[in-house]
Amino acid sequence: MTQQAIVIYSDGGCKGNPGPGGWAYVMRFGSRYREAWGAEMHTTNNRMELTAVINALAFLKQRRDRTQRSCAAKSAPPPAWVSAEIRICTDSMYVKRGISEWLPDWKRRGWKTAAKKPVMNQELWEKLDALCSELAPLFEWVEGHAGDPDNERCDSLVGLAIE
């Protein structure tokens, strides 16, 4: 029997770019479901895309760490979700390519692009990198506005957050 994965859909967007923006995520593990969203007054699409993933992973890390401490104090085994694979589904090629292709080169070059310019959103990439180092999520690109219910829900939540 294959162990279930924690599946996280994330999205971010802006009204204008830059402009008021929103982020959202939908998280599933079996029948468990969580969604969260937020907004910033002056931001960019890419910052909101990164913020969605960071907030989802930060929530998961905090919850996992607390659960592990609690189980250890009781000498009880942790629940299955604590060690489950984590899959991030994003419609942002910026996030997908950034984490899987560009990040190692940026770090090697001292946070410079191939053109020797500073990496945009470095502080967010550093937060995401730290979370990924600890949680080891797998990133998948999904096509936006293609009828995937969880991706569409994220998109709707982003719209609500921006309003």
pLDDT digits (tens, 9 = 90+) for 60-100: 999 999 999 999 999 999 999 999 999 999 999 999 999 99
Residue 25: φ, ψ to 5°: -145, 155
CATH at residue 104: 3.30.420.10
- Residue 127's domain comprises 6-162
Told to judge if 105 belongs to the known catalytic residues of this protein, a careful annotator would answer no
Predicted pLDDT of residue 2: 55
Told to judge if 42 belongs to the known catalytic residues of this protein, a careful annotator would answer no
For 86, the 3-state DSSP assignment is strand
Residues across the chain: 163
Told to judge if 150 belongs to the known catalytic residues of this protein, a careful annotator would answer no
Told to judge if 65 belongs to the known catalytic residues of this protein, a careful annotator would answer no
In a domain, 71, yes or no: yes
In a domain, 59, yes or no: yes
pTM of the model: 0.95
In a domain, 36, yes or no: yes
29/38 Cα distance (integer angstroms): 22
19/21 Cα distance (integer angstroms): 6
In a domain, 34, yes or no: yes
In a domain, 30, yes or no: yes
Let me know if 74 is exposed, middle or buried by CB neighbors in 10 A (0-12, 13-18, 19+): exposed
Predicted pLDDT of residue 1: 43
Told to judge if 11 belongs to the known catalytic residues of this protein, a careful annotator would answer yes
Domain count, the chain: 1
In a domain, 146, yes or no: yes
In a domain, 49, yes or no: yes
Q: What is the per-residue pLDDT across 102-139, written as a single tens digit (0 to 9) for each?
A: 999 999 999 999 999 999 999 999 999 999 999 999 99
159/26 Cα distance (integer angstroms): 14
Task: Name the nearest CA neighbour of 163 among 24, 9, 8.
Answer: 24
Told to judge if 49 belongs to the known catalytic residues of this protein, a careful annotator would answer yes
- Given the residues 13, 49, 98, 150, the one annotated as active site: 49
- Given the residues 101, 145, 147, 163, the one annotated as active site: 145
In a domain, 1, yes or no: no
- The pair of three-digit structure tokens given for residue 61, joined into one six-digit string: 């890390």
Let me know if 23 is exposed, middle or buried by CB neighbors in 10 A (0-12, 13-18, 19+): buried
